[in-house]
Amino acid sequence: MSKKRKRFLMRSSILSVLAILIGYVFYTNFITGEESAIEEGDTAPNFILTTMEGEQIELEDLRGQGVFLNFWGTYCPPCVDEMPYMDNQYQDFKERGVEILAVNVGESDLAIKRFVDRLGLTYPILKDKNKNVMDRYGIGPLPSTYLIDENGEVQRILTGAMTEEDIKGYMEEIEPS
């Protein structure tokens, strides 16, 4: 086989693989119609995640309650600062129909457990090992918080650190009537 013929076959193979990859990316991102980011006013996508204790929690099961959905990581300084504030407010709001779901994104059980134990957190800590929920919600910077009302609608999307007063005000916003 001549050098020209081998080069032609190699180039044709590479172009074919590239065309298939581009087609796949186009199909998965545009044809399926599934958006990757959630916006205020949208119904919060359902998910099922496992707590540190092994209990499965499904977002749909919390309809009728306000949900303070917080995405965080142990390596995130603002997360370290605000999580004790969230715990303080959780003590006041859990009996008033507001649930906190703190979703850790992709870290080991040991890292999460040490973090939770060090801060003495009492609200549900969920594990998003493969970052599927994070990707579905279109999470960028951490911390990111979604305020979900009793009807399952996203009322607000917040990024960055929050003070304890901020957290209290946000929980009041999603407290069921």
Number of folded domains in the chain?
2
Looking at the chain, which runs of residues are DSSP E strands? 48-51, 56-58, 66-72, 98-105, 125-128, 144-148, 154-159
Does 66 lie in the same domain as 119?
Answer: yes
Residues with pLDDT less than 70, the chain: 19, 21, 23-36
pLDDT at residue 3, rounded to an integer: 83
Asked, for residue 42, whether it belongs to a domain, the answer is no
Domain extent, residue 57, equals 48-174
Q: Give residue-wise pLDDT tens across range 24-33.
A: 665 555 444 4
pLDDT tens string 110-124? 999 999 999 999 999
Is the same domain home to 157 and 125? yes
Kindly state the helix (H) or strand (E) to which residue 7 belongs, with its residue range. helix 3-26
Q: Is the peptide bond before 77 cis (omega within 30 degrees of 0)?
A: no
Closest CA to 53 of 109, 7, 93: 109
Let me know whether 63 and 107 are in one domain: yes
Parallel/antiparallel/unpaired status of strands 98-105 and 125-128: parallel
For residue 53, give both structure tokens: 């204790």
39 occurs within a structural domain: no
